């Protein structure tokens, strides 16, 4: 599904965020990235989303070198990837329902079909009863779940998450991870960046460790 | 994920997608048309001021154009009254005069003629000057007979040619045509037209700047929203659309206000203008913008609003993308 081939990323010519990253993720896998902040977790996700281009090497997704996508194809590429952001990236001037509906609106899904899928996604994250609320009225954990609902509403084959439990207490974090495992069970490929080592250890999934922009360990689940 | 580059999709699914994509596209246009109007209505004062600025920028060239248009009507009227006067030699008697008139009339470039005998000329002269008795003392009538010629074409070059031909006829002493004022009027009209065009271009640029600046602020205030939708796969066209409609609405509003201002100005000026015209014995009223003119003004302002928004959003999209 995803293959990094000797990928390097420099910013401003000097700072090396990633160096010689080489790994693959199979379809249906659930993979964690760990590492201290600045180790390159976010850069890696940004490369997959094609928010950035590698300075060296190739990033292959579904057999295609995504650097070769034309700028006009990038939006259509991004639509096939669900992304959960650490800071949610919700729009505070519209309701929960309309936040979750945003990807479908962008894709031009017919409104009735869109409403059905939004409610299904909200139901999945257990917040169907808050659809009319504004994001500001929700707790941090609830906002994160809205972000997840938005990421999965168009049933992406690949789900990326950047520190999805960053600001949550252990119980809420565990709930969110359980949610991710549910998606993984129905075939979604997941790549989750997290520094919550204790939680990751408990979940027993493949874990890639980054340090100073280098891949230092690739631990398969046992 | 096998379908990642759009070109890799199967032909059939591509086809069904095309029609639904077209429907979705039309739906988004509809939604944005209404949404952008609502956004304007929600901040009536600021947006009204923007529209007023656009209207003022449009009124000046439009008013000048209208004035020129009416001047052109006047010009045509004057050209119609352009005539040549053929003065016959003193010794030409009445029968010869009639023959000369027939010869003149036979010219293909002559539309109509009128013979003024020496006596009639004298009478007209006296009447025009209000000197009923002063000339009675003259023993001989000093005026020659003359023929007033209405040319088929009021074109100065044609009249010049005609005057040449007529002056070579037997018994013709002199041919007078006063082209200078027609020429002057033409130059003046041309000057006005160019001035109006230059003003229209300048003020059109002004409209672009006004709309562009307003839209720039709107983009800035929705920057986060733009960043988020681009993260989750919005195309540039999708992001641009609401702002283009806002720009077009500004144009529509500004155009309508401009039409209102022109009507108001017309009412304000029509009384003194017709009084002035009446004092010259002419009937002249300020021209109204007709339906075609109004449509042109409104389309131009809408187009300018749209274009201003397009330029502003295009510039800002690239700055957002590069972050």
| pLDDT tens digits, A1-52 | 899 999 998 888 778 888 889 999 999 999 999 988 878 888 899 999 998 8
Q: Is residue B179 included in any domain, yes or no?
A: no
pLDDT at A88: 82
Q: What is the distance between the alpha carbons of residues A130 and A123, in angstroms, rounded to a whole number?
A: 10
Q: Is there a single domain that holds both residue B115 and residue B42?
A: no
Q: Is residue B20 included in any domain, yes or no?
A: no
Phi, psi of A140 (to 5 degrees): -60, -45
* Chain B residue closest in CA terms to A158: B1
Q: Is there a single domain that holds both residue B106 and residue B194?
A: no
Are residues A110 and B231, on separate chains, in Cβ contact within 8 Å? no
Are residues A106 and B1, on separate chains, in Cβ contact within 8 Å? no
Class (C level, CATH) for A30-52+68-219: alpha beta
Residues forming beta bridges with residue A158, ordered by sequence position: A81, A189
Residues of B in contact with A162 (CB under 8 A): none
pLDDT at A121: 93
pLDDT at B1: 44
Residue B146 has pLDDT above 50, yes or no: yes
pLDDT at B139: 63
pLDDT at B322: 47
Which of the four pLDDT bands, split at 50, 70 and 90, describes residue B6? very low
Residue B74 has pLDDT above 90, yes or no: no
Q: Is residue B173 included in any domain, yes or no?
A: no
Q: Is there a single domain that holds both residue B209 and residue B101?
A: no
pLDDT at B135: 57
Residue B66 has pLDDT above 80, yes or no: yes
Are residues B234 and A91, on separate chains, in Cβ contact within 8 Å? no
The helix or strand, by DSSP H or E, that contains position B62, with its residue range, turns out to be helix B44-80
- On whether any CB of chain B is under 8 Å from the CB of A73, the answer is yes
Q: Is residue B12 included in any domain, yes or no?
A: no
Rounded percentage of chain B residues whose pLDDT exceeds 70: 85
| pLDDT tens digits, A101-129 | 999 999 888 889 999 999 999 998 899 99
The helix or strand, by DSSP H or E, that contains position B209, with its residue range, turns out to be helix B180-221
Interface of A with B in 88-147 (CB under 8 A): 89-91, 93, 102-103, 105-111
Q: Is there a single domain that holds both residue B147 and residue B257?
A: no
Q: In terms of C-beta distances under 8 Å and separation of at least 24 residues, what long-range contacts does B74-80 make, across chains too?
A: B74/B284, B75/B185, B75/B186, B75/B189, B78/B182, B78/B185, B79/B154, B79/B182, B80/B154
Residues of A in contact with B224 (CB under 8 A): 91
Are residues B6 and A76, on separate chains, in Cβ contact within 8 Å? yes
Rounded percentage of chain A residues whose pLDDT exceeds 70: 99
Q: Is residue B160 included in any domain, yes or no?
A: no
Q: Is residue B177 included in any domain, yes or no?
A: no
Q: Where are the domains of chain A?
A: 30-52+68-219
In Å, what is the CA distance from B195 to each residue of A63, B62, B63, B181, B259? 63, 12, 12, 21, 21
Q: Is residue B4 included in any domain, yes or no?
A: no
Residue A208 has pLDDT above 70, yes or no: yes
Q: Is residue B18 included in any domain, yes or no?
A: no
Domain span at residue B94 reads 83-153
pLDDT at B15: 54
Residues forming beta bridges with residue A159, ordered by sequence position: A82, A190
Q: What is the distance between the alpha carbons of residues B129 and A139, in angstroms, rounded to a whole number?
A: 99
Q: Is there a single domain that holds both residue B69 and residue B193?
A: yes
Are residues B28 and A108, on separate chains, in Cβ contact within 8 Å? yes
- Candidate ranges B65-79, B122-136, B178-192; pick with highest mean pLDDT: B178-192
Q: Is there a single domain that holds both residue B69 and residue B87?
A: no
| pLDDT tens digits, A131-156 | 999 999 998 889 999 999 999 998 99
pLDDT at A222: 59
Q: Is the model more confident about B178 or about A185?
A: A185
Q: Is there a single domain that holds both residue B195 and residue B311?
A: yes
Are residues A62 and B231, on separate chains, in Cβ contact within 8 Å? no
The closest alpha carbon to B158, from B112, B113, B110, B115, belongs to B110
- On whether any CB of chain B is under 8 Å from the CB of A78, the answer is yes
Q: Is there a single domain that holds both residue B66 and residue B89?
A: no
pLDDT at B323: 46
Residue B280 has pLDDT above 80, yes or no: no
From A66, A75, A158, residue closest to B233, measured CB to CB: A75
pTM for the model stands at 0.75
Question: Once rounded to an integer, what is the mean pLDDT over residues A174-181?
Answer: 90
- On whether any CB of chain A is under 8 Å from the CB of B279, the answer is no
- Structurally, chain B folds into a number of domains equal to 2
Which of the four pLDDT bands, split at 50, 70 and 90, describes residue B141? confident
Three-state secondary structure call for residue B89: coil
Q: Is there a single domain that holds both residue B209 and residue B296?
A: yes
The closest alpha carbon to A192, from A164, A213, A152, A216, belongs to A164
Question: Once rounded to an integer, what is the mean pLDDT over residues B215-234?
Answer: 90
CATH number of the domain that residue B123 is part of: 3.30.70.3040
Size of interface A-B (CB pairs under 8 A): 81
| pLDDT tens digits, B92-132 | 888 888 888 888 888 888 888 888 888 888 777 777 776 66
ipTM value, please give it.
0.86
Q: Is there a single domain that holds both residue B206 and residue B240?
A: yes
Q: Is there a single domain that holds both residue B197 and residue B295?
A: yes
Using the 3D structure, point to which of B114, B131, B153 is the last residue of a domain. B153
What rounded mean pLDDT belongs to chain B? 82
Of A7-11, A51-55, A186-190, B315-319, least confident by mean pLDDT is: B315-319
Q: Is there a single domain that holds both residue B101 and residue B226?
A: no
Residue A177 has pLDDT above 80, yes or no: yes
């Amino acid at each position: 599904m995803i293959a990094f081939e000797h990928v390097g990323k420099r910013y401003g010519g000097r700072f090396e965020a990633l160096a010689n990253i080489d790994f693959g993720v199979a379809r249906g896998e659930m993979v964690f990235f760990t590492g201290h902040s600045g180790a390159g977790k976010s850069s890696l996700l940004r490369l997959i989303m094609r928010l950035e281009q590698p300075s060296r090497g190739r990033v292959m997704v579904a057999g295609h070198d995504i650097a070769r996508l034309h700028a006009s194809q990038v939006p259509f590429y991004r639509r096939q990837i669900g992304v959960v952001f650490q800071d949610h990236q919700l729009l505070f001037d519209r309701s929960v329902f309309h936040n979750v509906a945003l990807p479908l609106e962008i894709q031009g899904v017919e409104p009735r079909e869109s409403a059905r899928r939004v409610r299904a996604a909200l139901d999945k994250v257990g917040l169907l009863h808050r659809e009319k609320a504004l994001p500001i009225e929700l707790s941090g954990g609830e906002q994160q779940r809205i972000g997840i609902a938005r990421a999965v509403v168009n049933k992406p084959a690949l789900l990326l998450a950047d520190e999805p439990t960053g600001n949550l207490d252990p119980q809420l974090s565990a709930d969110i991870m359980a949610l991710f495992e549910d998606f993984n069970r129905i075939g979604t490929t997941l790549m989750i960046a997290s520094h919550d080592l204790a939680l990751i250890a408990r979940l027993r999934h493949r874990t890639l460790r980054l340090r100073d922009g280098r891949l230092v360990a690739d631990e398969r689940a046992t | 994920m096998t379908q990642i580059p759009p070109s890799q999709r199967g032909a059939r699914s591509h086809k069904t997608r095309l029609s639904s994509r077209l429907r979705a596209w039309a739906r988004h246009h509809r939604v944005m048309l209404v949404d952008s109007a609502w956004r304007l209505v929600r901040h009536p004062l600021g947006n009204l001021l923007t529209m007023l600025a656009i209207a003022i920028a449009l009124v000046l060239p439009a008013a000048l154009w209208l004035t020129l248009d009416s001047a052109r009507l006047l010009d045509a009227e004057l050209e119609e009254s352009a005539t040549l006067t053929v003065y016959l030699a003193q010794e030409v008697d009445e029968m010869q005069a009639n023959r000369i008139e027939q010869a003149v009339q036979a010219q293909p470039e002559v539309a109509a003629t009128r013979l003024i005998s020496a006596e009639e000329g004298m009478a007209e002269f006296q009447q025009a000057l209000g000197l009923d008795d002063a000339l009675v003392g003259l023993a001989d009538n000093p005026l020659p007979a003359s023929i007033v010629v209405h040319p088929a074409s009021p074109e100065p070059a044609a009249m010049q040619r005609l005057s040449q031909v007529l002056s070579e006829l037997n018994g013709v002493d002199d041919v007078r045509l006063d082209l200078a004022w027609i020429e002057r009027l033409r130059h003046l009209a041309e000057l006005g037209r160019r001035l109006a065009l230059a003003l229209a271009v300048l003020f059109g640029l002004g409209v672009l700047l006004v709309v562009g600046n307003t839209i720039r602020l709107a983009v800035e205030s929705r920057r986060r929203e733009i960043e988020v939708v681009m993260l989750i796969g919005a195309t540039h066209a999708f992001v641009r659309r609401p702002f283009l409609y806002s720009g077009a609405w500004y144009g529509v509003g500004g155009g309508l206000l401009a039409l209102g201002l022109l009507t108001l100005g017309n009412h304000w000026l029509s009384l003194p203008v017709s009084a002035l015209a009446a004092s010259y014995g002419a009937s002249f009223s300020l021209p109204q913008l007709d339906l075609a003119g109004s449509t042109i003004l409104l389309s131009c302002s809408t187009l300018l609003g749209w274009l201003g928004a397009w330029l502003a959003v295009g510039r800002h999209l690239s700055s957002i993308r590069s972050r």
